[in-house]
């Protein structure tokens, strides 16, 4: 005998009628006991369609598939979460005003607002492109990886700098002017030739020997940029 699984079975109840949804939410909040309630599915015609009876009033229900499977968790200490079920279906209680309209068996929306129209946005049919177009795109990517521009295109190096407006204090990226680029290149080349200072190094100079000193090495000092 196979061991029974501890995984619970959950589904989402979605009520279209606002008044009925408020009544059910109040019962759940107050943990009220409801006697006159039943949920029956049509096992012969379509097992996805059924009827929910509340206080003697019958409401049509349809079992729809969610776009994706979501997980359900529970906590006992408000700190640790334990997964208890996978949810892949939603039970929709149809609004009486929309009872005559056919209901799809696949839910177009997810549970959260970002998943609105998820089935049409994320599961759209694949785009079929001609083989020659795909081949040209692959060749263009190979050309760019090799440092060459595709046919009909050219590469341009653009240097930008972040400039802050002294009046407003706001900054934005601006293209460096060609003259400023040449000046910066000359300055960088001069700095590289002079060891990073932008000036040529100068040799040491021997100062006059002080009277009464026998060690003239004490008076050899390197010239500074200000000398």
- Cα distance between residue 125 and residue 134, in whole Å: 18
Answer whether 85's CB lies under 8 Å from 71's CB: yes
Mind listing the pLDDT tens digit for each residue in 145-194? Answer: 998 888 888 888 888 888 888 888 888 888 887 766 555 555 655 555 55
pLDDT at 158: 82
**CA 137 to CA 150: how far, in whole Å?**
10
- Reported as a single tens digit per residue, the pLDDT across 51-92 is 888 888 888 899 999 998 889 999 989 899 998 888 989 999
Q: Within 13 Å and on the Cβ side, how many CA atoms surround 219?
A: 11
Contact at 8 Å (CB) between 97 and 59? no
Top-confidence residue, 108 or 198: 108
Q: How far apart are CA 64 and CA 87, in angstroms?
A: 11
Model-level pTM? 0.48
Contact yes or no for 24/100 (Cβ under 8 A): no
């Amino acid at each position: 005998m196979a061991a029974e699984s501890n995984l619970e079975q959950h589904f989402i109840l979605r009520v279209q009628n606002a008044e009925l949804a408020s009544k059910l939410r109040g019962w759940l909040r107050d943990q009220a006991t409801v006697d006159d309630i039943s949920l029956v599915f049509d096992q012969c015609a379509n097992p996805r369609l059924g009827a929910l009876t509340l206080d003697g009033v019958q409401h049509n229900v349809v079992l729809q598939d969610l776009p994706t499977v979501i997980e359900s968790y529970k906590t006992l200490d408000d700190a640790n979460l334990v997964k208890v079920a996978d949810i892949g279906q939603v039970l929709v209680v149809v609004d009486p005003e929309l009872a005559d309209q056919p209901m799809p068996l696949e839910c177009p929306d997810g549970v959260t607002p970002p998943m609105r129209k998820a089935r049409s946005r994320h599961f759209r049919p694949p785009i079929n492109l001609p083989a020659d177009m795909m081949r040209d795109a692959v060749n263009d990517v190979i050309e760019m990886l090799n440092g060459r521009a595709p046919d009909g295109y050219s590469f341009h190096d653009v240097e930008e700098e972040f400039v802050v407006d002294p009046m407003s204090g706001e900054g934005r990226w601006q293209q460096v002017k060609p003259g400023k680029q040449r000046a910066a290149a000359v300055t960088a080349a001069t700095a590289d030739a002079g060891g990073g200072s932008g000036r040529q190094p100068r040799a040491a100079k021997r100062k006059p020997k002080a009277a009464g000193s026998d060690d003239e090495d004490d008076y050899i000092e390197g010239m500074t940029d200000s000398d």
